[in-house]
Amino acid sequence: MPAAVATNGAQEGRTVKRQRTDQNEIVVKSQRQVGSSRLFAPYRTVGLVSPTSVPFTSIALGKTTFQLTTSVGRSLQTYDLRRGLNLVFITRPQTPEFITASIAWKDLVFAAWGAEAAESERGVWIFKRGKKIAELEMPLRHEHNIKSFCIFGSWIIGACDNQILVWKSSNYELYTTLQSVTASAFTGTLSSMPTMLNKIVAGKEDGTVEIWNVSSGKLVYSVLPPAADYGAVTALQPTPALNLLAIAYESGPLIIQDIQADKKILQFNASAHGTNGPSITSITFRTDGMGAGDDGKRAGVMATASNESGDVTLWDLNNGGRKQGVLRGAHAPPSSSSPGGVSKVEFLPGQAIIATSGLDNSLKTWIFDESPFNPVPRILHQRSGHGAPVTTLAFLPAASDGSDASGKWLLSTSKDRSLWGWSLRRDGQSTELSQGNVTKKARKQGILSSEGRDTIEALKAPPITSIACSLNRDGGMGSMPGKFPIWQSGKGKTKNSTEATSMTGWESVVTAHQGDNKARTWFWGRKKAGRWAFETQDGGEVKSVAVSPCGTFALVGSANGGIDMFNLQSGSHRQRYPARLTPAQAQQLKLDLAKAEEAIAPAAESGKKKFYRGQGKHTAAVTGLAVDNLNRTVISCSADGKIKFWDFMSGALKHEIDWSGAVEITGLRLHRSSELAAFSCSDGCVRVVDVTTFKLIRELRMSRSSQSKAFDFADFGFSNDGRWVMAATSSFVCAWDLPTGHLIDVFKLPSTCNAISFSPTGEYLATASEEHVGVDVWSNKTLFTHVPTRHINEAELSTILASEGQAPTVSGEGSISIIGTLANAPDAESDDEDYIDADLDADAELDALSSDLVSLSLVPRSRWQNLLHLDIIRQRNAPTAAPKKPEKAPFFLPSLQERQANPAIANTNTTQDLAAIEQERSRIMKMDRQNTVSRFTSLLRDASETGDFAPFITNLKSLNPAAADIEIRSLSSPITSFDPESDACNELVAFVRALSYVCTSKRDFELGQAWMAVFLKVHSDVVVDDAELRQAVKEWRDRVVEEKERVEMLAQYCGGMVGFLRAARV
């Protein structure tokens, strides 16, 4: 039986266009997964190039280009070299587990996947142009992951820890399994020798290299290491010379062995630190016959690399071999904050180009110059991303001058000290903002030494902790042309630079850095570091930054409580908050304070506190800064629990909000158009303040329980329209509806969320996780369909907290189908029933309230509001004109009428037969209708007999407006019933008593009023003629009046008590 399992490309691939469906097809609505977002759908992940330890694989496409394929977790990305490493394919679907090995062969890519657990599922998938086409047959109860592949002839070889799997490339069937004959395991190093038929070489943990015949399944020979302390085999690579194999060992040595004669030809000590240095994990040979010798005209160049170092070493194998050069800092070395090292180095066949990939999430190609000859290559192309988890996110403002109107640019920072700008439209436009020629500086300072004690990262700015941006003064690529020093203090500025910036623009991005007392500026248009480094006046670490809306001023908040304002054009210090005092002003301040102490009683009566110039400095770190839309007010918050409002020009304190006795304030976000400021607090609450009236308007929490207070907000912000407040806490992202204050969405991520940012156009939400170097992007579902904003109760929240996390994928798999499902939804109103598939009863919260409270219904407002206006809705939706006759089809196409009237399939008696059948059907349906009772009617009759109206009310609440209207209109009475002696003649009275039950239960108040309004509108004439019904309506009215008077009395009592407490008492 063939092992290859073909898949349907149309189902696994990207949905190209919306599929056409039959009008009579029933659309089944899928329930939302527990823990998934109600407002957002996964879109894609950006910033991933080569973040895993799986080496890249390359393949030549004819004689024109090469394609390089890297692993990004559960997908493969293929880049084209001729297009400048442009991304051409992303594999779909994602593998069930992480990819452990990959190899490209012809036009196919093989990917092995599996988990660490022995009982987990494993497999090998085959992709062609990014689509899965087949699978390799796997042995039963396979417990080890495949570490590497080798394909030659008609064989596909995969190496595991304890065995080697062999498949036939013709039908993908498992041919045989090669078991190790010793206790030593395979290291995953695998290769084939060009001169050996059906034979492979495999490295082992004890340093042995075994030669196997894959056709017979027998061990042919074992090559022993020169010494027992060489350790495991870490790399194998055949040389261009026949029968020679390069072998690297864990302790550092590299030897070139004649496999046929079992004789050592050359040996190198690849480490500069003796035998205890980093071991070589990748070997490659140059095959274009150039590069060696003093003039580079001879063959024999070898390159080696290690996953413990970021350097690539080049060797000249002629005359006994020597080290030819070292490509320093090809990739970032491993550090405490991020992984690093070179995962693979490979010379492209027949080319003077070498490709490298590293654990710093980068893929690079290098080219060798022939004239003048240089043994060390220079960079040709590169694709990279963050090498460490992302810490800060910020979308560029979309309405600013010089920015893209679609809001596609996203800024991100990481622990690897880099600042990236990501394009959500085209990956090739994403770039890292330059911090100068760091490599050249390191070479001048001697940091790029063979000892490798220091790294290039030490010359970069410290990790960024806060970003502020305004593009109104950004000059794009034309801002500040020429060369100039970066990150100067501003004291040595020249007049020429200031004059030039007035015409071309200046810096637009300001950043705060960890453990640094300087805020740095950046040119966004030129994607490079700016001129200024603004130092805090009190010497404290920069904790927060802000840029004025005009783009001219930058504000810097200090850990010591100081706030300074600088001019971005000239780099000059312009203001301090509070303003600096001259000796005369300080003396005047003492006098004013003395007078204020004498007049403390009148000030207390007015309720307003007066602030003098020089007063109001924060006593703790400034954790947030913002400037209002008109450059009139500066808003600051601090860990001392105080919010201060400063005059922008004078630096005087205008107002203060003091929460110091309750919480610490950890962050500030301002929505300028609505003049609302949100503050994250240490008690697990986001408080929203109106900056015009200085009033607290909302307190937003995940839950009122003590469990929510344990969550600290890592990041938060407003939506583009100011209606939602988004916040990230632990591994959860929360959304509150600001007008109602309700928690309307909570979804869980796979790991801790470090940062979030909402697109200024409202299209995307970006999130960054602790265990992920990419940026996850989510689509806003409210742009495609109606999404209910029902409050999430405690039971639902507990279920979400215990659920599994979700995240977008690199390939965007699933996002297109989600949006398509939303767009094809048959009824937007059905989204109101989008409840989580769990045993959650929203009414339980109301039952826990006091029985004296009158509560409203949890039924969506559209249910009972539309019920009162169905006639208007039908009239509005009625066609304005009669349907037009379809246009006549071309002469060569038969019209629909002609096809239906084809004499070959029709006869003269068709019309009479159909009329007779319809008449008989109508008669039978009328008879059956008289014997059929709806659920509404049966529940109403049962309730009138038992007195329990709860099941009837529950059923009535579940009906849509049209169905409820029909049921109310269908109620019968002794006057309207055809059978006055029937039991159904008391339905009207029973319905009114059910509404009286709703009023007595003090629940669903507005819903009961809507039902009674429709009832009186339809059956008012019957109420006038029926005495029993009239008495039932009177009883309902008495109960409503009774409840109204009771609530009014309670409201008056509360109003009087509040007025009494607010009044001045002596």
Q: How confident is the model at residue 493 (pLDDT cuts 50, 70, 90)?
A: low
Q: How confident is the model at residue 286 (pLDDT cuts 50, 70, 90)?
A: very high
Whether residue 732 contacts residue 802, with contact meaning beta carbons closer than 8 Å, is answered with no
Cis amide bond preceding 372, omega within 30: yes
pLDDT digits (tens, 9 = 90+) for 707-721: 555 678 999 999 999
Q: In the numeric block, which tokens belong to residue 555?
A: 């504000």
CB count within 10 Å of CB 691 equals 21
Residue 531, pLDDT > 70, answer yes
Residue 237, pLDDT > 60, answer yes
The listed range with the strongest mean pLDDT (194-203, 442-451, 886-895, 943-952) is 194-203
Query: Residue 391: in which H helix or E strand, if any?
Result: strand 390-395
Q: Residue range 312-319: average pLDDT? A: 93
Q: How confident is the model at residue 843 (pLDDT cuts 50, 70, 90)?
A: low
Residue type, 611: F
Q: Residue range 366-374: average pLDDT? A: 91
Q: How confident is the model at residue 21 (pLDDT cuts 50, 70, 90)?
A: very low
For the chain, domain boundaries: 390-599+611-833, 850-870+909-1066
Weakest-pLDDT range from 88-97, 163-172, 873-882: 873-882
- In Å, how far are 680, 759, 1054 from 618, measured between CA atoms? 17, 32, 39
Residue type, 510: V
Residue 182, pLDDT > 80, answer yes
Whether residue 357 contacts residue 369, with contact meaning beta carbons closer than 8 Å, is answered with no
What's the pLDDT at 817?
A: 54
pLDDT digits (tens, 9 = 90+) for 327-344: 988 998 887 777 889 999
733 closest CA partner among 669, 810, 811, 805: 805
What's the pLDDT at 143?
A: 87
What's the pLDDT at 141?
A: 83
More confident residue, 850 or 881: 881
Q: Residue range 610-617: average pLDDT? A: 81
Whether residue 174 contacts residue 224, with contact meaning beta carbons closer than 8 Å, is answered with no
Q: How confident is the model at residue 984 (pLDDT cuts 50, 70, 90)?
A: very low
Residue 274, pLDDT > 70, answer no
Residue 209, pLDDT > 90, answer yes
What's the pLDDT at 588?
A: 77
What's the pLDDT at 337?
A: 74
Instruction: Give the single-character DSSP code of 709.
Output: G
Q: How far apart are the first and last CA of the chain?
A: 97
Whole-angstrom distance, CA of residue 555 vs CA of residue 546: 5
Whole-angstrom distance, CA of residue 945 vs CA of residue 759: 58
What's the pLDDT at 452?
A: 46
More confident residue, 275 or 422: 422
Residue 20, pLDDT > 50, answer no
Whole-angstrom distance, CA of residue 1036 vs CA of residue 998: 10
Weakest-pLDDT range from 85-89, 128-132, 508-512, 949-953: 949-953
Q: Residue range 411-438: average pLDDT? A: 90
- In Å, how far are 36, 80, 364, 594, 836 from 840, measured between CA atoms? 16, 52, 53, 63, 8
Whole-angstrom distance, CA of residue 392 vs CA of residue 519: 15
Weakest-pLDDT range from 345-354, 366-375, 825-834: 825-834
- Name the E strands within 514-580: 518-523, 528-535, 542-547, 553-558, 563-567, 573-577
Whole-angstrom distance, CA of residue 36 vs CA of residue 93: 20
What's the pLDDT at 167?
A: 96
Whole-angstrom distance, CA of residue 694 vs CA of residue 391: 31
Cis amide bond preceding 93, omega within 30: yes
Whether residue 225 contacts residue 235, with contact meaning beta carbons closer than 8 Å, is answered with no
What's the pLDDT at 917?
A: 61
Q: Sign of dihedral through CA atoms 139, 141, 144, 145?
A: positive
Phi, psi (deg, nearest 5) at residue 539: 80, 5
Instruction: Give the single-character DSSP code of 536.
Output: P
CB count within 10 Å of CB 251 equals 20
- Specify the residue for token string 């990956």: 427
The alpha carbon torsion through 844, 846, 852, 855 (nearest 10 deg) reads -150
Contacts of 1054 (CB under 8 A, 6+ apart): none
Residue 676, pLDDT > 90, answer yes
What's the pLDDT at 709?
A: 58
92 closest CA partner among 812, 716, 633, 647: 812
Output the CA angle 951-957-962, nearest 5 degrees: 130
Does residue 420 sit in helix, strand or coil?
strand
Q: In what order do the strands lie in the sheet with 163-168?
A: 148-152, 155-159, 163-168, 174-179
Q: How confident is the model at residue 1 (pLDDT cuts 50, 70, 90)?
A: very low
pLDDT digits (tens, 9 = 90+) for 374-417: 999 999 999 999 999 999 999 998 755 445 556 789 999 999 89
What's the pLDDT at 885?
A: 72
Instruction: Give the single-character DSSP code of 18.
Output: P
Whether residue 173 contacts residue 151, with contact meaning beta carbons closer than 8 Å, is answered with no
Average pLDDT, the chain: 83
Residue 557, pLDDT > 90, answer yes
Classified by CATH at the fold level, domain 390-599+611-833 comes out as: Methylamine Dehydrogenase; Chain H (2.130.10)
Output the CA angle 305-51-454, nearest 5 degrees: 50
| Helices within 396-552 (DSSP H only) | 438-445, 495-504
Whole-angstrom distance, CA of residue 141 vs CA of residue 135: 17
What's the pLDDT at 839?
A: 39
Output the CA angle 1011-1014-1018, nearest 5 degrees: 140
Weakest-pLDDT range from 411-425, 477-491, 611-625: 477-491
Q: Could you tell me which residues are beta bridge partners of residue 523?
A: 528
What does the H/E/C string look like for 267-333? EEECCCCHHHCCCCCEEEECCCCCCECCCCCECCEEEEECCCCCCEEEEECHHHCEEEEEECCCCCC
Residue type, 59: I
Residue 454, pLDDT > 60, answer no
What's the pLDDT at 897?
A: 53
Contacts of 34 (CB under 8 A, 6+ apart): 799, 800, 803, 836, 837, 838
Output the CA angle 863-866-867, nearest 5 degrees: 80
**Whole-model pTM?**
0.77
Q: Residue range 291-310: average pLDDT? A: 91
Q: How confident is the model at residue 1058 (pLDDT cuts 50, 70, 90)?
A: confident
Q: How confident is the model at residue 5 (pLDDT cuts 50, 70, 90)?
A: very low
Residue 629, pLDDT > 60, answer yes
Q: Which residues of 698-713 are buried (b: 16+ CB within 10 A; e: fewer)?
A: bebbbbeeeebeebeb
Whole-angstrom distance, CA of residue 520 vs CA of residue 464: 10
What's the pLDDT at 377?
A: 95
Helices and strands in the chain: count of H runs, count of E runs: 18, 56
Whole-angstrom distance, CA of residue 145 vs CA of residue 466: 42
Q: Residue range 429-446: average pLDDT? A: 81
Contacts of 654 (CB under 8 A, 6+ apart): 611, 633, 645, 646, 647
Q: How confident is the model at residue 819 (pLDDT cuts 50, 70, 90)?
A: low
711 closest CA partner among 735, 685, 691, 688: 685
Q: In the numeric block, which tokens belong to residue 464?
A: 């960024």
Residue 662, pLDDT > 80, answer yes
- In Å, how far are 339, 463, 769 from 416, measured between CA atoms? 10, 7, 15
pLDDT digits (tens, 9 = 90+) for 912-958: 555 666 665 655 555 554 456 788 888 888 888 888 888 888 888 88
- Specify the residue for token string 């970066």: 486
Residue 832, pLDDT > 50, answer no
What's the pLDDT at 837?
A: 41
Weakest-pLDDT range from 308-322, 461-475, 523-537, 945-959: 945-959
